[in-house]
Amino acid sequence: MGLPISWFWSRSFLLNRLFLWLMFICNFLGTVYGYIWYGNQIEDTLSNHPLWQIVFVPDSPTASLFFTITLLYWLFPPRGNSKFVNGARMIIEGLAVVTSIKYGIWAVSMIVAGSMQGDPLHWEHWMLMCSHSAMAIEVLLYARFMKARVGAAVIGTLWLLLNDTVDYTYDVFPWLSDSLMDNLTQVKWFTYSLTIFSFIVGGLALKAKKQT
């Protein structure tokens, strides 16, 4: 008999070192690609906005970066029992969960919303929808194995709320298609609402975690 389908989201499969390395490579490359994708907006922000706002520009690749670092904790577990190291790990994991859920869903939603208003869908849009959907799915699969607790998700959510506020106060939100710029107010409130949704879902996922 073959392996049951549930094995593919079991601890044995997801925390297997070979699979962790595959996940790390995919997320690392996706993170690099994401920062390259934001290249023009980063340059524009550096030219036309205060330097401190730059950290709020590349949303999705930063979320992917948090999860990439999280994977390193499983590949190379920290030695000892340092409160600082454990605290930093839990905060990064909390950030990885809520930001990946949010921006995974947000990017897909914006592409779909744009297409509904007449924007043509190219292969890049399909690639982005697949990769961003994977961002949200993978953290939900791995959340139960993380050390982070709901408190770390709260910290991640506070970061997201700050990011949302900076984005829509200083116009450093991810560039939208022209068709969606006419609905910027709706996009703004959808983004804030998605932050709260990501906290709820991410918090529940962390509460369901198992001992590793």
- How much is the CA Rg of the chain, to the nearest whole Å? 18
**pLDDT score at 211:** 42
Is residue 64 classed as helix, strand or coil in its secondary structure?
A: helix
**What is the C-alpha separation between 181 and 121, in angstroms, rounded?**
17
**pLDDT score at 199:** 98
pLDDT value at 208 more than 90: no
Q: What is the mean pLDDT of the chain?
A: 94
**What is the C-alpha separation between 147 and 38, in angstroms, rounded?**
31
**pLDDT score at 3:** 65
**pLDDT score at 212:** 41
**pLDDT score at 1:** 53
Q: What is the pTM of this model?
A: 0.94
DSSP assignment letter at 117: T
pLDDT in tens, 159-202: 999 999 999 999 999 999 999 999 999 999 999 999 999 999 99
What Å distances lie between residue 134 and 31, 86, 124, 125, CA to CA? 13, 27, 15, 14
pLDDT in tens, 35-88: 999 999 999 999 999 999 999 999 999 999 999 999 999 999 988 788 999 999
Is residue 3 classed as helix, strand or coil in its secondary structure?
A: coil
DSSP assignment letter at 80: S
Longest CA span, the chain: 62
pLDDT in tens, 108-163: 999 999 999 989 999 999 999 999 999 999 999 999 999 999 999 999 999 999 99
How does 165-189 read in b/e, with b if 16+ C-beta sit within 10 Å? ebbbeeebbbeeeeebeeeeeebee
**What is the C-alpha separation between 202 and 98, in angstroms, rounded?**
6
**What is the C-alpha separation between 88 and 163, in angstroms, rounded?**
20
pLDDT value at 99 more than 50: yes
Q: Which residues contact 122 (CB under 8 A, 6 or more apart)?
A: none
pLDDT in tens, 2-48: 667 777 778 888 999 999 999 999 999 999 999 999 999 999 999 99
Q: Where are the alpha helices (DSSP H) in 55-183?
A: 59-75, 83-116, 123-142, 150-169, 178-181
